[in-house]
Amino acid sequence: MAIDFNNEVVLITGGTGSFGNKFVEILLRDYNPKIIRIFSRGELKQLQMMQKFNSDSRLRFFIGDVRDKNRLWRAMDGVSIVIHAAALKQVPACEYNPIEAIQTNINGAINVIDTAIDRGVQKVIALSTDKAAHPVNLYGATKLVAEKLFVQANTYSAGKNTRFSVARYGNVAGSRGSIIPVILSQRKNGVVTLTDERMTRFWITKSQAVHFILNCLDVMRGGEIFVPIIPSVKVSELIDVMVPTCRKQFIGIRAGEKLHETLLTLEEARHSVKLDNYYVIEPEFPFWDKNLIEKGEKLPEGFEYTSNKNEKWVTKEEIMHFLEEQHDED
């Protein structure tokens, strides 16, 4: 049964980011939530977001950091749903500032979990990344730990109503820090840098990511890691479509970077099921009732979901259509 947001108070940590802006836009427009609380560190971004949505009376803005448990406690008063999107996510910055990444991405996750349980929040969805699967950099490693924390949190909330799940997906096209803004910023020089001609990435738009999270909220029972079935894109082809007159300069794979990304590992696939348009990684803990997933299709032995072996690929026409939509939004 779909959630009736008319009666829900929703809190989104890191709510002024790319995902948060699109999530708020869609929720206000299509679902009429009772209240959305934006929890983030920057007052300027909150002001810009307030202006963007014309000071909508359903929005509340809380300046705060997930490292600050007391502030989370205040922000979660009366909240029924939490979307945990706050994170340090720039790979080079996390490599250079590892303790800061751990403080936010791991200790912050613990604070969200503890506060949600103590405040009686009903559903918590944590946003994760393909970099958490077989991580090769600190950012991915912190998100892997965060995934483990949110799955296992369902044992801590035993006897209470709070349920935790995770949504893991790939690079969000057009989001801050993604490759599209980088390509656009480099085109004025006539040269675009690319680490390797073979590089592939998963592709999901901001709108698709929001609707995926909304679906996860509907179907979650607590403990699942949800993985959307999404297409891949060849980065070199993306550049050819976006800036066809620019020259590509190959600079080699950077520290902490993968040639291809993984959304579902070989080991995880052994306890995962496929539904219509997403996979569910089932928890390997006694609290998990396999009957909660009614019609899942078991995955074949040897299955893994990687960006280079994907059955679905973004076409040039789809890239062009996406860029036109982005231009219209701007």
For residue 93, give both structure tokens.
């910055």
pLDDT value for 328: 52
Select which of 89, 123, 131, 206 is catalytic.
131
CA-wise closest residue to 101 among 110, 112, 113, 90: 90
pLDDT value for 292: 58
Rounded CA-CA distance 79/76 in Å is 5
Is residue 88 within 8 Å of 139, Cβ to Cβ? yes
Burial of 70 (0-12, 13-18, 19+ CB in 10 A): exposed
pLDDT value for 329: 58
In a structure prediction context, what are the per-residue pLDDT tens digits for the chain, which is 330 residues long?
Answer: 578 999 999 999 999 999 999 999 999 999 999 999 999 999 999 999 999 999 999 999 999 999 999 999 999 999 999 999 999 998 889 999 999 999 999 999 999 999 999 999 999 999 999 999 999 999 999 999 999 999 999 999 877 899 999 999 988 887 776 778 888 888 888 888 888 889 999 999 999 999 999 999 999 999 999 999 999 999 999 888 888 888 888 888 887 889 999 999 999 999 999 998 999 999 988 777 766 566 788 999 999 999 999 999 999 888 888 877 765 555
Is residue 204 within 8 Å of 171, Cβ to Cβ? yes
Task: Give start and end residues of each alpha helix (H) in the chain.
Answer: 18-30, 43-52, 69-75, 91-96, 98-102, 108-119, 138-156, 179-186, 206-219, 235-242, 266-269, 316-329
Query: What domains can be seen in the chain, in order of their start residue?
Result: 5-170+204-229+263-305 (3.40.50.720)
pLDDT value for 120: 96
Residue 34 bears catalytic tag: no
pLDDT value for 173: 84
For residue 187, give both structure tokens.
């085109």
